[in-house]
Amino acid sequence: GQSLEQPSEVTAVEGAIVQINCTYQTSGFYGLSWYQQHDGGAPTFLSYNGLDGLEETGRFSSFLSRSDSYGYLLLQELQMKDSASYFCAVRGPVNNNAGNMLTFGGGTRLMVKP
Amino acid sequence: DAGVIQSPRHEVTEMGQEVTLRCKLISGHNSLFWYRQTMMRGLELLIYFNNNVPIDDSGMPEDRFSAKMPNASFSTLKIQPSEPRDSAVYFCASSSPRQLNTEAFFGQGTRLTVV
């Protein structure tokens, strides 16, 4: 099966940098994704790491290390609108039928303060 | 495309009643996910379809829950009989078969309250 662990809450100030970690146990997976969800809204896709290393998209970056079963989401130049829940998710396991299955971690609630 | 469309957006029902949640996938997507979200349990995967076929339903809580895909663009999640502990936000999401890194697109969810 697939299980993912994230911190439940993180607090940071506007303009700062924050890192949200995700550790996982899987029976094989294609890649690690990150989603953002504002209160009352639906999860929306932020980034995907299929390979080890860093992926950068504007103020957001995501990292994956398969050997450490670990990934993180890095948010820079924090803005008040970044206050939301952030979820890591794995696609897998690796087989023909279930390769697209998407399993989420418990989510990290980020509070950005002035 | 209008995105993934769920209906109803809100549903309040009495314990014991049947509830049917509906989801229209994005055209061309072949993977369909039903999730349930609560404060206590987070985002739980209930069932996953690929090409209209249920691949993994291990997250379906019990026999009171059933899901179908009568065609490639539409799915239903039924709860019969409903119980207060079923109160949650139910999301469906779809994704494209073309790439494994393709994002999953979520509908706006159905907020279910069972009283």
3 state SS of B85: helix
Min CA distance, A72 vs chain B (Å)? 17
User: B88-105, pLDDT tens digit by residue?
Assistant: 999 999 988 665 566 899
Q: How far is CA A5 from its chain centroid? A: 10
User: A25-59, pLDDT tens digit by residue?
Assistant: 987 788 899 999 999 999 999 999 989 999 998 99
Q: Which residues contact A34 (CB under 8 A, 6 or more apart)?
A: A45, A46, A47, A48, A60, A62, A73, A86, A87, A88, A89
B45/A103 Cβ within 8 A: yes
The reported pLDDT for the residue numbered A101 is 79
Burial class (CB in 10 A: 0-12, 13-18, 19+), A77: exposed
B93/A91 Cβ within 8 A: no
User: B33-46, pLDDT tens digit by residue?
Assistant: 999 999 888 899 99
B95/A100 Cβ within 8 A: yes
Which residue on chain A is closest to B101 by alpha carbon?
A: A48
Which residue on chain A is closest to B46 by alpha carbon?
A: A103
B42/A31 Cβ within 8 A: no
Q: What is the pLDDT averaged over residues A98-107?
A: 81
Q: 3-state SS of chain A?
A: CCEEECCCEEEEECCCCEEEEEEEECCCCCEEEEEEECCCCCCEEEEEECCCEEEEECCEEEEEECCCCEEEEEECCCCHHHCEEEEEEEECCCCCCCCCCEEECCCEEEEEEC
The reported pLDDT for the residue numbered B28 is 87
The reported pLDDT for the residue numbered A92 is 74
B33/A102 Cβ within 8 A: yes
User: A3-20, pLDDT tens digit by residue?
Assistant: 899 999 999 999 999 999
The reported pLDDT for the residue numbered B23 is 98
Whether the pLDDT of residue B1 is over 70: the answer is: no
Q: Which chain B positions have a beta carbon within 8 Å of A108's beta carbon?
A: none
What is the average pLDDT score of chain A?
A: 91
The DSSP H or E segment spanning B71 is: strand B65-71
Q: A106 near A88, Cβ under 8 Å?
A: no
Q: A72 near A14, Cβ under 8 Å?
A: no
The reported pLDDT for the residue numbered A46 is 93
User: B75-87, pLDDT tens digit by residue?
Assistant: 999 999 999 999 9
